[in-house]
């Protein structure tokens, strides 16, 4: 399967345009929540995504990557006035490794879609050099999550275009499925 074929679902799902500019993936990234392997545009129940996914990034050990995860559909897909909500930010991830080996700038926050079907986008950038990870204060983390821009972040840190991206959909679970104690 060619890397270019990975872009098509991103175009169809409007991830290209709403979040990213057109790019050609050059790095393989696998994402899995528990036993479920992520494919672009698949549906994941918020409960399944309660904990950060296992992510493996192919690359040489001296390569460094940044992972950004956002929700471009906050608070609702029809009125995304909070676009984008930052769910996770990890820098200095070594190639061949996973985010736990990098530096977590903003901790993982599970999907909490209040209304409609939300897209959750994971974008991988290759860094030119090691980043000095900013240490946000507790109040700073919440501020950092609101109206984040993946493009602006990449520009500010001169990362160029992404090397990989994947997204999944999630919607609020109907109340009937929640347990009543």
Backbone angles phi, psi at 38, to 5 degrees: -80, 135
Domain-embedded: residue 178: no
Query: Which CATH number is 55's domain given?
Result: 3.90.280.10
Distance CA 44, CA 30 (A): 15
Report d(CA 117, CA 151) in Å as an integer: 23
In a domain, 180, yes or no: no
Is position 137 within any domain? yes
With the C-alpha atoms ordered 26, 23, 21, 31, is the resulting torsion angle positive or negative?
A: negative
Is 167 inside any structural domain?
yes
- Report if residue 119 sits inside a domain: yes
Domain count across the chain: 1
Q: What does the pLDDT profile of the chain (181 residues) look like in tens digits? A: 556 667 889 999 999 999 999 999 999 999 999 999 999 999 999 999 999 999 999 988 899 999 999 999 999 999 999 899 999 999 999 999 899 999 999 999 999 998 899 999 999 999 999 988 766 665 667 777 888 999 999 999 999 999 999 999 999 887 665 555 5
| Domain annotation covers residue 181 | no
Note if the pTM is more than 0.75.
Answer: yes
Q: What are phi and psi of 67, to 5 degrees?
A: -115, 130
Range of the domain at 47: 3-171
Q: Cis omega before residue 84 (within 30°)?
A: yes
């Amino acid at each position: 399967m060619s890397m270019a074929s990975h872009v098509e679902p991103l175009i169809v799902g409007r991830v290209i345009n709403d979040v990213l500019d057109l790019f050609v993936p050059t790095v393989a990234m696998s994402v899995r929540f528990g036993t479920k392997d992520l494919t672009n545009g698949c549906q994941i129940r918020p409960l399944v995504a309660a904990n950060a996914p296992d992510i493996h990034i192919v690359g040489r050990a001296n390569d460094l990557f940044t992972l950004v995860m956002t929700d471009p559909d906050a608070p609702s897909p029809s009125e995304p006035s909070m676009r984008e909500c930052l769910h996770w930010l990890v820098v200095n991830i070594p190639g061949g490794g996973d985010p736990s080996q990098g530096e977590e700038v903003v901790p993982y926050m599970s999907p909490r879609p209040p209304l409609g079907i939300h897209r959750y986008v994971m974008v991988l950038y290759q860094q030119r050099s090691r980043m000095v990870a900013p240490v946000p204060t507790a109040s700073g983390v919440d501020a950092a999550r609101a109206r984040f821009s993946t493009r602006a972040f990449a520009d500010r840190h001169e990362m160029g275009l992404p090397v990989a991206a994947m997204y999944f959909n999630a919607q609020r679970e109907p109340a009937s499925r929640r347990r009543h104690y």
